[in-house]
A and B are shown apart, each in its own frame.
Chain A
Amino acid sequence: MKSLTLYLLSGPYTSQCTDIACELAQRALEKGYRVNLFLYIDGVHVPKKGQRTLKFPNVENRLKKLVPKGLSIKACVRCASARGYVEGEVPELETDTFPTTQYVEGASITEIYAFPAWIKESDKLISLGG
């Protein structure tokens, strides 16, 4: 199975990058790719629960549809911690992820080393929001 990693550095709504990432993820999943989404810098805001939009497409709802189709989502712990998403000092033993109750199901917080690991197993990397 081919693998695509998307790397998102900007938050939702301030630009179209998150919507583009979701669209790319959806299309790649439909074509049978394994798709990873790594969130960095303000990208770590993307999977926050409780988003309410009046006019713009709701990113949270979109992620909730993509995760069951196979989208993997990880956020950098340094960036997520600085922005208040990490609720504990150490990673959980079983999953090696840092605790949070603020993200949609399927999104987790990890060391940045998860990103180069995904790069190495990917056929393509697309970076957005830099």
Chain B
Amino acid sequence: MVGSVVILVTSAPYGRENAYGGLYTAIASLDSDLRTVVVLTGDGVYSALRGQSGEKSLGYPTIGDLFHRIHPRAKIYAESSSLNERGLGKADLIEIVEPIEDRELLEVFVKYGEAIITY
């Protein structure tokens, strides 16, 4: 039986619904006692940027607020190479999101990836 899940967010927020969907699924998984990790990779790292105001600019919920419903029950990682490729670093991120190197990310997948769901 599946006991853990990796929520892999690869899409940027706001332009598509996928990132919201991933984070809502992470919250439901945690509420259901599944071991859960959120990984932001590719354009998914934009979800973790500080200073978002989706409500004011778009009328959409600010996606960064959902991270606070996940942490500290689950870790939220942003892949370092994806951050670097986009000129971003830890200082640009919401403080509860941790950059993670590829090698460490592999260990996360091995440990938690009984199910991996891509958004």
Q: Enumerate chain A interface residues (CB-CB to B < 8 A).
A: 7, 9, 40-42, 78-79, 112-113, 115-117, 119-125, 127, 130
Contacts and interface: CB of A to CB of B under 8 A. Distances in A.
A7 B17 CA distance: 16
Given A7-B117, A116-B34, A122 B1 contact: yes
Contacts of B18: 9, 41, 130
Contact of A41 (B3, B17, B29, B34): B17
Nearest to A124: B2
Interface string B24-50: 110011011010000000000000000
A119 B21 contact: no
Contacts, number: 58
Interface residues of B, number: 20
B interface SS class: mixed
Interface of B: 1-3, 5, 10, 17-18, 21, 24-25, 28-29, 31-32, 34, 115-119
B82 to A, nearest CB: 17
A130 B9 CA distance: 9
